[in-house]
Structure 1
Amino acid sequence: MIRAAKPEDAAQVVPLLLQAMGDLAYKLTHSQNEAAVKHIFEQLFKQPANQYSYENTLVFEEADKILGSLTAYDGEKLIELRIPFLAIINEANPAGNAPDAETQGGEFYLDSISVNPAAQGKGIGKQLVKAGITWGQQLGHQHIGLLVEQHNERALKLYQHLGFIIQNEKEFMGGLYQYMVFKVK
């Protein structure tokens, strides 16, 4: 079942979020300390009004276990939603630079989609993406955007199957991504 996340889901959702982000989590936080990075994202997840908040997250839950998560938000609000993130990062590492913008106004941005490795291949990711599209539509968005690593063929095929179209190549935090958009009909 897909439901809105709650602050108390942090222990199960943050590992999924970090799995989706991979090396980006370390680049964004300017830290190579796994425990510190996890702590930062747990703090953010439990707080309202930030890009990694429970408020911006849907979870797929089965038998009281969270098997997948999707974090998404209005691209127009990225700067506002990023303020708490930057405050925590600057506190931990004052010399760090602000990350690039991965989204823009005019789209609902699917930031992070992740499924527990033991539950992959069961359609959970597909259900979460569809729920993200519906969520964006309900908020009045005509465009749903996401970035996918260039060499993640499995994800590219899934998104294309769901109706996402590659718009262009985008560099973000030193990596190359395909910027994909789903246009609401």
Structure 2
Amino acid sequence: MSITIRQAQPDDAHAVVPLIIDAIGDIANRLTGEQSSEAVSQELTILFQRDDNRHSYLNTFVATEGEQILGILVYYFGAQAVDMDANLVKWLEEKNAPSIIIDQEAHEDEAYIDTVCVSPQARGKGIGTLLLQFAEELTKQRGYKKLSLNVETQKEDARRLYERLGFVITEPWSIIDEPFHHMVKQF
């Protein structure tokens, strides 16, 4: 298996959007202001193809084998989140969607792994680990000193994986009133 990781492109939406939804679940409804799965997918596609929000193709990297997208990484710098989230709130207001408050997910001095997801048929092959290692290299290349992520407190297997990769729980975190561990790897 020869996996390549590259910057996502707007026309990758057909493969990327379902993986984002798989990873974030009902949060996608809040981020799009929609309820039906078809509408959520359609609106998340619009967000992915824009350049001004956290789920933009500009913040997304894809793991591919040949032409097939097997996994995704959504990654950005914590300081960028404030503006990106303000753009999202404005977009929701313009489409008369329910108003939301977007929780801060990273400190401003951290590179942040927002989302990692591997397609169901490719799971267990180390692609998620490759994406996490890619995020580490990107963090170092960009001169950042911290890489962070949040993991739901009940996802113990995921937490153990992150710990094996050098992440340390630094503090409790809350996203949409759900408990998370905030984990950081320092360079």
Same fold (TM over 0.5): yes
Shift of 1:8: 0.7
Q: Partner of 1:159: helix, strand, or coil?
A: helix
Q: Partner of 2:22: helix, strand, or coil?
A: helix
Q: What residue number does 1:55 align with?
A: 58
RMSD: 1.4
Give the AA of the match of 2:51.
P
1:11 aligns with 2:14: yes
CA distance in 1, matches of 2:174, 2:12: 32
Q: Following superposition of structure 1 onto structure 2, how do residues 2-151 of structure 1 map, counting pairs within 5 Å?
A: 2-151=5-154
Shift of 1:93: 3.9
Does the CA contact (< 8 Å) of 1:76 and 1:105 recur in 2? Answer: yes
Fraction of identical pairs, as percent: 35
Shift of 1:144: 0.4
Q: Partner of 2:174: helix, strand, or coil?
A: strand
Does the CA contact (< 8 Å) of 2:145 and 2:186 recur in 1? Answer: yes
Q: Give unmatched runs, 5+ long, in structure 1.
A: none
Does the CA contact (< 8 Å) of 2:17 and 2:44 recur in 1? Answer: yes
CA distance in 1, matches of 2:100, 2:9: 30
Shift of 1:94: 4.2
CA distance in 1, matches of 2:180, 2:157: 14
Structure 1 outlier segments of 4+, above 4 Å: none
Greater CA drift, 79-88 or 52-61: 79-88
| Paired positions, count | 184
Does the CA contact (< 8 Å) of 1:40 and 1:88 recur in 2? Answer: no
Does the CA contact (< 8 Å) of 2:7 and 2:61 recur in 1? Answer: yes
Which digits, 9 at most, give the CA deviation of each residue in 1:80-124, with x for residues without a partner?
122332223223344422211112210001000000011111000
1:182 aligns with 2:185: yes
Q: Partner of 2:47: helix, strand, or coil?
A: helix
Give the AA of the match of 2:30.
K
Does the CA contact (< 8 Å) of 2:167 and 2:185 recur in 1? Answer: yes
CA distance in 2, matches of 1:175, 1:31: 21
Q: Partner of 2:108: helix, strand, or coil?
A: coil
What TM-score, normalized to structure 1? Answer: 0.93
Tell me which of 156, 161, 171 is aligned to 1:158.
161
CA distance in 1, matches of 2:25, 2:153: 14
Greater CA drift, 25-34 or 78-87: 25-34
CA distance in 1, matches of 2:107, 2:69: 29
